[in-house]
Structure 1
Amino acid sequence: MKIAILIFDGFNELDSFIAAGILNRIKERGWDVQITSPSPSVVSMNGVTIMSQQSLEFVNIADVVLFGSELLTRDIAKDSHLLSRLNLDPSKQLIGGQCSGTLLMFVLGLLNGVAACTDLTTKPWVIKSGVEVINKPFNAQGNIATAGGCLASQYLATWVIYKLVGKQQAEAAIHYASPVSEKVQYI
C-alpha cells in the first residue's frame, strides 16, 4: 500500500507529520507512507527543513494521496506546469486534503459536488472557487475526504485506515496516538 503525504514549501508540520505518524502504525500490513514533494527538500511554515522521501510523481502511483496545507497554496494552485504533473484518479485512489489542501483538490477537479471542510483562513478562497464549505472538522464522500484545522489530520489518517483495513485497526491506531485518559473519547 503506497501512501503519499503531499507537501510543498511552506507546509504545515502538524497536517503532514500527524497523519504520517498515525498511518505508519500500520507497517505490519506493508504500508509505505512517504513524504512527497516536487523538490528534494522542503521548508515548513516554521522554518523546518526536511528531505522529501519521494518525488512529486509518486502521487500518480500511490493508493492514497493526502494533501497537507501550505502557506503558498494559492501560488501553487496557479502553477499549471506543476499541477499538470499530478494525475490523480479518485476511482482508484483515496484522496484527502486538509485546510488549504482542499483548494488544490478543487483546482485538480477532485471535489466535483463534494462539500469540503477547510480552515478559516482558506475558507473564503474555497467558497470563491464555488465549493460548498461545511463547518465540520471532517467530511468524506466515496474516495474523497477533506478536513479543516491543523489537528484534524487525525481524521484523515483514521479515515484511510478505516477504509483500507477496517474499524478495528482504525480504533487501534487512534487509541495509540490519543492522549492518556482521553482514549475512549477519541475513538
Structure 2
Amino acid sequence: MQIAILTFDGFNEQDSFVALSLLNRVKGWRAMICAPGETVTSMNGVMVTPGIGLDALPAMDIILIGSGVRTRAVAADAALMARLAFDPARQLIGAQCSGALVLATMGLLQDVPVCTDSTSRPWVEEAGVRVIDAPFHASANVATAGGCMAAYYLAAWAIARGAGEGEARAVIDYVAPVGEKAETVARIMGVVTPFLPVMA
C-alpha cells in the first residue's frame, strides 16, 4: 500500500504524524507526508520535508488529509485544489477535522454525514454538507473524523480496510497505553467496525 498523508502549511502535527506512524506499522505499507512544496511547516513551527508531491496522488492507494490553521485558504485556492486528483472508486480517502473542508470543496461529501471538529464545523457546513456530532463516519471509500485524537479512528479504518480488522487491532494494541490495551482496542474498533464492509 502506498499512502499519502496530505499536509498543508499550518498543519496540526497530531493529525499528520499519528496517522503516518500508525500506517507505517503495517508490514509492506509505506505512508509518506505529501505536500505542495519542498517543505511544509506546522502550526507550531515544525518544518518537514515531504516524501512526495501532489503529482503522486493519483498513484496512491490511500489518501488521508490532516487539518490545519490554513485549510480555509487551501480550499479557496482554485489553482491548488485543481492539483488534487482523487479517485474514490479506487482509493481510500479520509479527512480529519478541517481536512473535511477540502473533500467538501471537491464534492466528495455530498449526501453523507460528515465529522469534523467544533472550530471547523461552520466552515464545513458552509460548503453544503451535513455535519454530525460523532468522532468518525465512513461511506464506501470516503471517511471523515473529528477531533485531534480521532486520528486513531481514521488510521484504524484505513488499516482495517486495506489489511484486515485483525491487523488494525494489532497496531492499535501496540501503541495503546500499558494497562489499557484491551479497552483502547475495544473502544477504537467499536467506533470503526460498523463502517467496515460486511465480509461474505
Asked if TM exceeds 0.5, the reply is yes
Amino acid at match of 1:47: G
Q: Distance in 1 between matches of 2:7 and 2:127?
A: 21
- Structure 2 residue aligned with 1:90: 88
The 10-residue stretch of structure 1 (177-186 or 136-145) with the greater mean CA deviation from structure 2: 177-186
Matches within 5 A, 1:83-162: 83-162=81-160
Percentage of pairs with the same residue: 49
Q: Distance in 1 between matches of 2:111 and 2:143?
A: 12
Q: Distance in 1 between matches of 2:179 and 2:129?
A: 38
The 10-residue stretch of structure 1 (4-13 or 51-60) with the greater mean CA deviation from structure 2: 51-60
Deviation at 1:54, TM superposition (A): 0.5
Q: Distance in 2 between matches of 1:110 and 1:44?
A: 26
Higher RCO (CA < 8 A, seq sep 6+) = 1
Counterpart of 1:77 (choices 75, 78, 87) is 75
Q: Distance in 2 between matches of 1:183 and 1:138?
A: 21
Deviation at 1:186, TM superposition (A): 1.4
Amino acid at match of 1:8: F
- Structure 1 residue aligned with 2:192: none
Q: Distance in 2 between matches of 1:83 and 1:129?
A: 14
Deviation at 1:168, TM superposition (A): 0.7
Matches within 5 A, 1:31-46: 31-46=29-44
- Structure 1 residue aligned with 2:170: 172
Deviation at 1:180, TM superposition (A): 1.1
Q: Distance in 2 between matches of 1:134 and 1:57?
A: 33
Q: Distance in 1 between matches of 2:45 and 2:113?
A: 32
Mark the runs of 5 or more structure 2 residues left unpaired by the alignment.
Answer: 186-200
Q: Distance in 1 between matches of 2:92 and 2:15?
A: 17
Q: Distance in 2 between matches of 1:50 and 1:87?
A: 22
Count residues with an aligned counterpart. 185
Amino acid at match of 1:7: T
The 10-residue stretch of structure 1 (126-135 or 153-162) with the greater mean CA deviation from structure 2: 126-135
Deviation at 1:87, TM superposition (A): 1.4
Q: Distance in 1 between matches of 2:37 and 2:73?
A: 16
Q: Distance in 2 between matches of 1:84 and 1:6?
A: 14
TM norm structure 2: 0.91
- Structure 2 residue aligned with 1:14: 14
Report the RMSD for the aligned CA atoms in angstroms: 0.8
